[in-house]
Structure 1
Amino acid sequence: MKLLTDCTRMRFLAFLVLLITGFQAAFAQLNLSDPIPTDPKVLKGKFANGLTYYVRPNQKPEKKVELRLIVNAGSVLEDDDQQGLAHFMEHMNFNGTKNFEKNELVSYLQSIGVEFGADLNAYTSFDETVYILPVPTDKPGNLEKGFQIIEDWAHNALLTTQDIDEERGVVLEESRLGKGADMRMLDKYLPRLMNGSKYAVRLPIGKDEILKNFKPDVIRRFYKEWYRPNLMAVAVVGDIDTATAMKYLRQHFATITGPASVRPRTEFDAPARTKAEAMVVTDKEATNYTLQIIFPSVKQEPEKVLTDYRKFLQRELVTQMINRRLSDLVRSGNPPFPYAQASFEGWARHYESFYAAAGFGEWGLEKALTALTAEIVRARQHGFTESELDIAKRNMLAGVEKAYNERNTTQSSTIISEYIRNFLEQETMPGIENEYLYTKEMLPGIKVDEINKLTSQWLAGDNTFSLITGPEKAGVKLPTDAELVAMTQKGLQQTVQPMEEKAVASSLMEKKPVAGKVVSKNVDKDFNAVTYTLSNGIKVTVKPTDFKSDEIILTGVKKGGTNNYGVADKYSAQYAASVVNTMGLAGFTPTDLEKVMAGRNARASADIDNIKVRVSAGSSVKDIETMFQLLYLRIMEPRKDVELFNAYKQKQKMQLQFMMANPQYAFIDTTVKVLYNNNPLMPAMVPKPEHFDAINLDRAIEIYKNEVGGADGYHFFIVGNVTQEAIVPYLETYLASIPSQNETPSFKDNGVRAITGKKHMEVRKGKEPQSLIMAMWHGDIKYSEKLEMEADALAEVLNIKVIEELREKLGSIYGGGFYAQVSKEPYQHYSVGMQLPCGPENVEKLLTASREEIDVMRTKGPNKVDLDKVKSQWHEKHRTNVKENGYWSGRMEDVLFWGNDRDHVFEYDKWIDKLEPSDIKETADKLFGGNEFISVLYPEGT
């Protein structure tokens, strides 16, 4: 069971109780021995053939239904000769079924606005396979076909020999993408970590030799045996009524028959470790050192009664408190590790274990291990303090309260995930009304003594598995397996002191700033918004919406940015915002700030890019003033802390010291240097340790104040559940009070340009047979929004051809594609990029095929069918986007700050409809007719 997963309307009876008697009277009715109920808004049932179904009407977003086919079968059920075929079967369901021939399925869905990979998708894990299909219902027939598609996936896959053979290359390319240092280390430690479980020898990607050579009947056997009704569920959530959903479910699924004889669906165990063990695994291409300490697996029984729900809350509180302690250490002036986390996790269904992990530097293992085990020991010996528990409770309640407030505006794709877990893992689904009720009732009664007693039980025992993974580097001495066991045991037996209670501030501001005034306002009927001009010159545009019941988002933008600084300030400017963030704000360290913010749904951050400053904030309705206070302090009161700055630098350097050992990072770094002719102001695509040594703290703070601080040039946009009248006092207090220097911020073109002409280069890095093609076509061009849209359409049409030709016909890639950008600032230019990860043997074939597709675009243009697919996808996205707060914040900024054409916002669908193949042809000839840069990664020795 998980919090915040199923947001529904309140049941009528509960609603009456809460109105008449208040929450406390309702709480008094709870009996912890009562079963956890099922949310009445979901209809769950089972057909006679054993297939389970879930139906839940939900109107967010409108005219869309989310469909899921859930198969309780994954790689752990494979026979020895089927390793990788559960996942291969997932691929085959997109490559020919009874009602959709090969490629027809993806083509049809693209034509109705469903994007392959982004919307249409699937995944295979150890225990299950889940198919994801969102269906736009704005056109007749879409819904019927959607149900036909998932029925075909369930039992109508064709699995022809030709289709299977043609898909081998695609799956092998997906396998290739996962290879490298992490996979090589995983192959070594997984059997020991999983302690003899079958999970250790059934990674979903399988074995390449089987993927290359299996006989077609082997995968047909898997499909026949495991894709059967009693191991399947169909979930239907969205803008659909229950009667219609049930009509389609009965029509397509009630009569599916399974095999005459069935194999039992075995639940595999995760044997508990009976002694302490450890492994140290290294690889020359690994990029960081990580320590993990994993406790023995424990079988978990599904939650059934309210007592179980209470235990779930207790465990969530413990996890939150341990992680807060680890986070405090990470953010301290002398951090023992650059990152750390702890959790109750499970790699086998119905089993979980407590684990803790931390990074460490070249010589920092003992320090990291001692600190990590100290927190485990401190938690199990001394438990937690009253103040720690209070903070955790407030945060938990704030989270579930926000989910409750959003119960009528929650996305269908979020809701449906809980039904998947219910079918596969028997997670209960009481509904957010009940979860909110239970959390408010149970949290006050959870006392620190009982939490501490449970913690000592959950973290008991020393039969841990300790694991170190990291770079293999001469001169770096790591322990042997036996030495690591001894070090861990020593750490778990150390003596530690209880955590001290620390006072926590109750407010962000003791004194509010001196307020300014609204001096004028302008109504924008197009945007249904009002723009206020404040006494310090700041402009604020406010647009009330009802898209989300408990969401307010704020963005602020002004011109400026890192382009205004030279080589000496490059890294001080680039990292100014993150440096300031790591030191806290006003009088609060990051740790103090987190405690002050406990139980409040509010955030604020700042960022500086090459031509602008952006501040972002958000909150729930009740925490709007807290959001404004955070925003004010983020702009006006950066905090200087030399100790935290030095710790920040050290952590960054520790994590980046081996980054260049990764072949792809090294390739990208080399490629960018050549692309920009080693210009010292070129963008730093791959951060390096020496970049952080180049930061001057005082200069970074000065740049932050210059760019982020001050009122001059700011335009803020506020969208969400706000009223224009109620927000004015906050604008006057926290924004109009920001001082103005009466300056006009601006950005500049710093002259950084990619090299011109045609350049092809090769880089050789890495031992795996992996290549990566990176190409860019670029140049100066007169900007227009029409050209920008045409360039985007060109890239998307090319991506359709990448799927059809390079992936499905050639079988030479798994993923990759084109992107396009046409920019107005800081100078008018364009770039079209292409990335194709592949095998070295396929590089020339893919370059030739991609050139052929580009040539077709330049000489003939796209065919109308492909362009119409792109247009359908854009229409569908737009129909959803216009009901999102973030969309309107961005569009108002485009028009009201950057001066773009408002017609492009309010007539967007018409702009899409005007696109013709001839437009794309003309644009392709412009964009591919100039400078060309191609860089290819090959493995060493080729």
Structure 2
Amino acid sequence: MEIEPYVDTTLDEPLVPEPPEPGSILSESVIDELNMTVWTLSNGVTVWLKPTDFKEDEIALQATSPGGWSNSSLEDHQSAVIAAGLVQQGGVGAFSTIDLQKALAGKAVQVSPSIDQNTEGMSGSASPEDLETMLQLVWLYFTSPRQDETAFQAFMAQGRAVLENLGSNPMAAFADTFSVTMAQGHPRSRPLSVAILDEIDLETGVDFYRERFADASDFTFVFVGAIDLDIMRPLAEQYLGSLPRIERVDSHVDLDIDPPDAHIQKTVRAGVEPQSQTIMAFSGPFDYTAQNRVGMRVMAQALEIRLRERMREDLGGTYGVGVTGGYEQIPEESYTVTVAFGSDPLRSEELRGVVFEELRKLQVEGPSQEDVDKVVEGERRARETNVRLNPYWAAQLIGAKASGQDPRFLLDTTTIDAVTIESIQEDARRYLNEDRVVIVTLLPAEMIGRP
């Protein structure tokens, strides 16, 4: 049988063959403190524009809208969660993913749609020269998502292979146990398996994506970087002002995926390697203020300093220990503080006890002034670096919009000035509640020296 030689084909047509009918800017205002212009377009789209001189060849994009995969049915959950990925692997308009890569070769531009639990949105970046291309991609991801059966089947085959290998991975069993416990066995928290992967349906996922992006009127787009407003104005009117609008009131759905209000401890026995992993998660309600968010972060950092000094340097029990303080506003204001470390299996129980000893000391005695100075200086240095980054501002501004906050709070530096020994001590008492903690430990299936 004669095999035809491979021929590399390139789709020779513009991304948007017929430019859409532009909308218009209905109102314009300026937030002087942030050097930010706000446009409201005729289709309801809101645009925030913050010109900067941080990088002359970069414009960062973030966009958000309330909703997310929380609006899917339980039956369609797996397809909805991965819907944006299904569209990305399919391409847009007349362009497959491979065609799109060829069409964008040599351009400094990328756009990615996303659907999270409570929001849908987009992120991207471009050089000023490729700004129109970025906006064309945004328009296409709204109006012309493409489903590709061949790409989907390749994705499913790859996913099955990965999941089959994960079946014997102790860390997968460890992570799955933790996530299911934190969600109290909620049906949407089922660990991914080959059987669950097979619940994903291409058409269902792409249809859900189209439904989520069918109405742009509640979207906010944030652009930060080397922006010329005179150049941006007609492009925004054409590609953002022409996005679809339908009459609907959209929001997230509270699925009641909540962590347990109890002290729960579980042990996973898997694998043969003589190593252990432990994660401890403290959770509860949270007052989502800027001061509390800073307080949460520095308290976690102060605890990490103490644990690192005690567990690694004094006791030699672990190569590393990490403490993370996280919080969210939607669907409910809540926090989670996680402590994670690896150790010799025979020392895991001892080191869990050390964590409780140190957090109690932090609650009773507070941190040292030296530790306070370290975490405060770390916050200040991070801020000094971040405020010169376009992606940082784009992410922070879109976060302010999604949470309904006045973005001017981002200029407030008094929150870090308010951190003291007493504030960290109080936050440790508030957030490190031993009555609300999930502890999961991974141990080998057979452990030498086990009683």
Report the TM range for the smaller structure's normalisation.
over 0.9
Which residue does 1:666 correspond to in 2?
173
* Counterpart residue number, 1:121: none
Distance in 1 between residues matched to 2:83 and 2:10, nearest whole Å: 30
Aligned match of 2:156 in 627, 631, 649? 649
Output the CA distance in 2 between the equivalents of 1:754 and 1:506: 51
Decide which of 421, 431, 446 is 1:917's aligned counterpart.
421
Aligned to 1:714: 219
Task: Work out whether 1:887 is the aligned partner of 2:392.
Answer: yes
Q: Which residue of 2 aligns with 1:696?
A: 201
CA 1:731–1:902 in 2, change beyond 3 Å: closer, same or farther? closer
* Partner of residue 70, structure 2: 563
The answer to which of 542-551 and 887-896 deviates more is 887-896
- Which amino acid counterpart does residue 604 of structure 1 have in structure 2? V
2:37 and 2:391 mapped to 1: Cα distance? 17
* 2:132 is the alignment partner of 1:628: no
Partner of 2:145: 638
Name the SS of the counterpart of 2:28 in structure 1. Answer: strand
**Structure 1 equivalent of residue 17 of structure 2:** 510
The counterpart of 1:798, out of the listed 303, 308, 316, is: 303
Correspondence 1:818 to 2:323: yes
Task: Please state how far the C-alpha of 1:866 moved relative to its aligned partner.
Answer: 0.2
CA contact (8 A) 1:527 1:892 kept: no
- Mapping 1:1-12, distance limit 5 Å: none
Contact 1:712 1:743 in 2 (8 A): no
> What SS does structure 2 have at the residue aligned with 1:509?
coil
Residue pair 2:11, 2:95 contacting (<8 A) in 1 also: no
> Structure 2 CA distance, aligned partners of 1:604 and 1:709?
18
| Match 1:784 to one of 289, 292, 296 | 289
Partner amino acid for 1:932? V
| Aligned partners of 2:266 and 2:439 also within 8 Å | yes
The one-letter amino acid of 1:723's match is D
1:597/1:934 CA distance change after superposition, 3 Å: same
Report Cα offsets for 1:893-930 as digits up to 9, x if no partner: 2334422254541122x211111111111111111224
Q: 1:812 and 1:663 mapped to 2: Cα distance?
A: 21
1:863 and 2:384 equivalent? no
Where does residue 273 of structure 2 map in the other structure? 768
Kindly provide the amino acid, as one letter, of the partner of residue 547 in structure 1: F
SS in 2 for 1:756: coil
- Code of the residue aligned with 1:541 in structure 2: it is W
Cα displacement (A) at 1:647: 2.7
Which amino acid in 2 is paired with 1:750? L
The 1:511–1:870 alpha-carbon spacing in structure 2 relative to 1, beyond 3 Å, is: same
Q: Deviations over 1:356-383 (max 9, x none)?
A: xxxxxxxxxxxxxxxxxxxxxxxxxxxx
> What whole-Å deviation, never above 9, does each CA across 1:401-433 have from its counterpart, x for those lacking one?
xxxxxxxxxxxxxxxxxxxxxxxxxxxxxxxxx
Q: Which residue of 2 aligns with 1:852?
A: 357
| SS of equivalent to 2:64 | strand
Aligned to 1:731: 236
Separation of aligned partners in 2, 1:679 and 1:895:
29
Unmatched 5+ stretches in structure 2:
none
Q: Which moved more, 1:630-639 or 1:782-791?
A: 782-791
| Residue 936 to residue 511, structure 1, CA distance change in 2 (3 Å) | same
Aligned partners of 1:557 and 1:714 also within 8 Å: yes
Which string of whole-angstrom CA distances, capped at 9 and with x for unpartnered residues, describes residues 623-646 of structure 1? 111111111111211112333322
1:905 to 387, 392, 410: 410
Q: Supply the distance in 2 between the matched residues of 1:503 and 1:677 (Cα, whole angstroms).
A: 50
Q: Is the 8 A contact 1:606 1:708 kept in 2?
A: no
| Partner Cα distance (2:377, 2:314) in 1 | 24
Partners of 1:903 and 1:713 in 2: how far apart? 21
The structural deviation recorded for 1:716 is 0.3
Alignment of 1:78-89 (within 5 A): none
Instruction: Find the residue that maps to 2:167 and give its secondary structure.
Output: helix
What's the secondary structure of 1:622's corresponding residue?
Answer: helix
Q: What is the distance in 2 between the residues matched to 1:884 and 1:586?
A: 33
| Distance of 1:644 and 1:922 partners within structure 2 | 53
Give the match for residue 83 of structure 1.
none
2:184 is aligned to 677
Whether the aligned pair in 2 keeps the contact of 1:564 and 1:750 (CA below 8 Å) is no
Task: Note the alpha carbon deviations across 1:708-754, whole angstroms, 9 max, x for none.
Answer: 33212100001111111210111011000012102232112110112
2:377 aligned counterpart, secondary structure: helix
Other structure's SS at 1:658 match: helix
1:58-79 Cα offsets, whole Å, 9 max, x none, are: xxxxxxxxxxxxxxxxxxxxxx
SS of the residue aligned with 1:859?
Answer: helix
Report the Cα distance in structure 2 between the residues aligned to 1:664 and 1:895, rounded to whole angstroms. Answer: 35
- By relative contact order (CA 8 Å, sep 6+), the higher-ranking structure is 2
- Residue deviations 1:134-182 (CA, integer Å, cap 9, x gap): xxxxxxxxxxxxxxxxxxxxxxxxxxxxxxxxxxxxxxxxxxxxxxxxx
2: distance between equivalents of 1:904 and 1:856? 33
The one-letter amino acid of 2:159's match is: Q
Distance 1:783 1:898 in 2: 9
2: distance between equivalents of 1:893 and 1:524?
15
| Separation in structure 2 between the aligned mates of residue 856 and residue 578 of structure 1, nearest angstrom | 46
Of 22, 27, 30, the match for 1:523: 30
Cα offset, 1:836, TM superposition: 0.7
- Looking at structure 2, the residues matched to 533 and 675 of structure 1 have their Cα atoms a distance apart, in angstroms, of 41
Q: Are 2:62 and 2:121, in contact at CA under 8 Å, matched by a contact in 1?
A: yes
- 1:661 partner SS: coil
- Indicate if the aligned counterparts of 2:81 and 2:115 stay in contact, CA closer than 8 A: yes
Distance across 2 between alignment mates of 1:605 and 1:923:
37
CA contact (8 A) 2:10 2:102 kept: no
Corresponding residue number in structure 2 for 1:192: none
CA distance in structure 2 between the partners assigned to 1:735 and 1:507 by the alignment = 18
Q: Measure how far apart 1:835 and its partner are.
A: 0.7
Unaligned 5+ runs, structure 1: 1-494
* Residues 296 and 427 in structure 2, CA contact (< 8 A), matched pair in contact too: yes
1:928 aligns to what? 432
Aligned 8 A contact 1:712 1:745 in 2 = no
Shift in Å, 1:883: 0.8
Equivalences for residues 214-293 of structure 1 within 5 A: none
Q: Contact (CA 8 Å) 2:27, 2:40: kept in 1 or not?
A: yes
**CA deviation after TM superposition for structure 1 residue 505, in Å:** 1.6
CA 1:694–1:531: 2 relative to 1, 3 Å: same
Which structure has the larger Rg over C-alpha atoms? 1
In structure 2, what is the Cα distance between the partners aligned to 1:695 and 1:501? 31
Partner of 1:759: 264
Q: Cα distance 1:820–1:560, how it changes in 2: closer, same or farther (>3 A)?
A: same
SS in 2 for 1:820: strand
- Report the equivalent of 2:103: 596
Report the counterpart of residue 456 of structure 1 in structure 2: none
Is 1:542 the equivalent of 2:46?
A: no
CA distance in 2, matches of 1:894, 1:601: 25
- CA deviation profile, 1:268-293 (whole Å, cap 9, x unmatched): xxxxxxxxxxxxxxxxxxxxxxxxxx
SS of 2:251 mapped into structure 1: coil
Matched, 1:609 2:109: no
Q: How many angstroms apart in 2 are the aligned matches of 1:799 and 1:749?
A: 33
1:890 partner amino acid: A
CA spacing shift, 1:610–1:503, aligned 2, 3 Å = closer
Measured after TM superposition, the shift of residue 520 of structure 1 is 0.8
Aligned to 1:691, the other structure's residue is in SS state helix
The one-letter amino acid of 2:58's match is E
Q: Deviations over 1:216-257 (max 9, x none)?
A: xxxxxxxxxxxxxxxxxxxxxxxxxxxxxxxxxxxxxxxxxx
SS at match of 1:915: coil
Give the C-alpha shift of residue 588 in structure 1.
1.2
CA RMSD of aligned residues (A): 1.8
